[in-house]
Amino acid sequence: MDFIRLSILIFIVLYLFMIPIFFRLRDKEDHSLSVAMSLFVMAALALIPTAVLVAIIMIGYLFMDIVSITPFIQFSSHWDTVVYVIALLIILSVGELVIIPIAKSLLTLVLRHPLSKWIGDLVTIVINTLLISIISELLPGVTIQGIEVALGMALVYQCMEWMVDIRTAKQSAKSK
């Protein structure tokens, strides 16, 4: 299935799911909104998740093309790459929101001393490495060469986080 058909399919499914929800909200809050305007607003709102999902799928295809030249990580098909990217986004998000703060809190309790920023970053890298290696082992179409590859991916992820932190710090310094 090519991207255009997939995009249209995702858009139609989201649009159909939004119809009862949107009309229920419209009936509760604003009766003056016309049906045509409601359908237009729903179409505009359905485009956002469609664009996000298609972008994730395109990133999966791009990821497959990039890693196809390296022997460190291999995928059985393009869809395995898409599933891997989506699973990686979900598991790293859960790790950032739940697992890493719990691990940092437990480490602070055990050491009875607040953690420095660098120790916190080290904990983040170790946990992300473990999460990446676990998700790579659980998905059947993904073959990873070892924990070193997962560590490299976690370091790249952490470097991106550091770049965002540096940019945020520069912008907050300019605003003062």
Instruction: State the pTM of this model.
Output: 0.63
For residues 92 and 131, is the Cβ–Cβ distance under 8 A? yes
What does the pLDDT read at residue 86? 81
Residue 95 · residue 112 · CB < 8 Å = no
Exposure of 130 by Cβ count < 10 A (0-12 exposed, 13-18 middle, 19+ buried)?
Answer: middle
CB 86 within 8 A of CB 60: yes
Instruction: Please list the rounded mean pLDDT of every run of 10 residues in the chain (176 residues).
Output: 63 64 59 60 65 69 63 76 82 89 93 90 94 91 85 86 79 76
φ, ψ for residue 143 (rounded to 5)?
A: -120, 125
The residues, any chain, with a CB within 8 Å of residue 150's CB and separated by 6 or more, are 129, 130, 132, 133, 136, 144
Beta bridge mates, 113: none
